[in-house]
Amino acid sequence: MTRAAMVVLKYPSLELVEYKVARIATTMPYIPGFLSFREYPALLAAWEQLSQKPDLLFVDGHGISHPRRLGVASHFGLLVDVPTIGVAKKRLCGKFEPLSAEPGALAPLIDKGEQLAWVWRSKARCNPLFIATGHRVSMDSALAWVQRCMKGYRLPEPTRWADAVASSRPAFVRWQEIQP
């Protein structure tokens, strides 16, 4: 089964207002570099269930910072024609200068002379994030949006909440308990 969660947050409070989880049969084996083809059907199913479509979508994965310049954030953004930002936890391609250990350390991810993403340390003692254009968002805007959506964790709130919802993490369970 392939599982995907979509969350809608109110901005600028970053309050969770809606969520949907889709679980569908996996129809494609895992093939490195083609993960978006395996995951987009579940993402699309969750997207279609939302009563409120977000104006901007953060995707847990790569945008153009992908060997084929079409990670899941770019692929999904193209499919639904919504602005997307890729927020990945691991590098797929390219190189960057070593970052200082301080939060806020920043370097461009470069591949074949082209900047593919920003490598940004969001929190001390945590690995950096790879923040990239997905679809209809500039590289600098992607970084700025991610920075505005931080609340003291490694991940920005949209991807942190989506992960919590998909995995029924304690923060999400507590949130459910206090809802009317």
Round to whole Å and give the CA distance between 85 and 73: 6
Residue pointed to by tokens 């890729």: 86
Dihedral pair phi/psi, residue 126, rounded to 5°: -130, 150
Angle between helices 35-49 and 72-80 (to 10 degrees): 40
First-residue to last-residue Cα distance in the chain? 31
Average pLDDT value over all residues in the chain: 95
CATH of the domain at 69: 3.30.2170.10
If you average pLDDT over residues 150-176, what whole number do you get? 89
Dihedral pair phi/psi, residue 95, rounded to 5°: -135, 155
Higher pLDDT, 33 or 56: 56
Contacts of 180 (CB under 8 A, 6+ apart): none
Round to whole Å and give the CA distance between 32 and 20: 27
Lowest-confidence pick of 20-34, 98-112, 146-160: 20-34
Instruction: Compute CA 81 distance to the chain's CA centroid, rounded to the nearest angstrom.
Output: 16
Cα angle for residues 95, 116, 66 (degrees, 5° grid): 85
Residues spanned by the domain of 121: 2-177
- What strands lie across the sheet with 57-60, from one edge to the other? 57-60, 84-88, 129-135, 114-120, 106-111
If you average pLDDT over residues 77-98, what whole number do you get? 98
Q: How many domains does the chain have?
A: 1
Cα angle for residues 81, 31, 25 (degrees, 5° grid): 70
**pLDDT on residue 71:** 97
Residue 81 has pLDDT above 90, yes or no: yes
Backbone Cα Rg of the chain: 16
Alpha helix (H) residue ranges in 25-81: 35-49, 72-80
Give 80's pLDDT tier (boundaries 50, 70, 90).
very high
